[in-house]
Amino acid sequence: MNKFSLMVVLALFSTTLFAKNILVLGDSISAAHNMPTEKGWVNVLQQTLNANDLPYTLINKSISGDTTRGGLARIDKALEQYKPEIVLLELGANDGLRGFPPFLIKKNLRELIKRSQKAGAQVLILSMRIPTNYGKRYTDMFYNNYPDLAEEMDIPFVPFILEDIALVQGMIQKDGLHPSAKAQPIIADKVWRYLEPVLRAD
């Protein structure tokens, strides 16, 4: 092996050795619904990490239509396989759209946080809102789960990630629910604002 080849091998080994994983556990909002994966906010956020020379790899295990119960069914395997430093938790919207009891959604989210922390990961919880189909009381109870859990579990809380785009023309797909490709960089930037301090402090 010549000197150049050795340097390449050492560089690759160093990158692999020191790279850290960030697990994204979400639903269609994080799964680049109805668009190429590379246009989704998770991939855009990865580009931001790369541009800032931060040795983190985003592992996107988001599934369209997933619920908090679905997340519980698969988080243990993901934690074991990827051993993430950080978990970005973006679940609950589908539970709310199906009218699941808010206390049950909260219970499942709490368990997802606990399992992540037990595995040694920090958690950021990304909050969601839902239409008022089930009335204001249900909608408020649903949303309040997120800040309440953030305070209870002492974790960073990302306010409604679609806040700046939900009512802006061209930012939401024709289904009226999912963000468009145009909105993805805005979502990535919002998540980045809350994620960066965690990464810098690590």
| Catalytic center residues | 28, 175, 178
Size of the chain in residues: 202
Report residue 47 as tokens. Answer: 């580009």
Give φ, ψ of 155 to 5 degrees.
Answer: -125, 155
* Residue 77 to residue 57: CA distance in whole angstroms: 18
- Tell me the sheet residues that pair with 188: none
- Tell me the sheet residues that pair with 172: 179
Report residue 191 as tokens. Answer: 């998540």
CA end-to-end distance (rounded Å), the chain: 36
Cα 91 to Cα 52, 78, 193, distances in angstroms: 27, 15, 19
Give φ, ψ of 131 to 5 degrees.
Answer: -60, 165
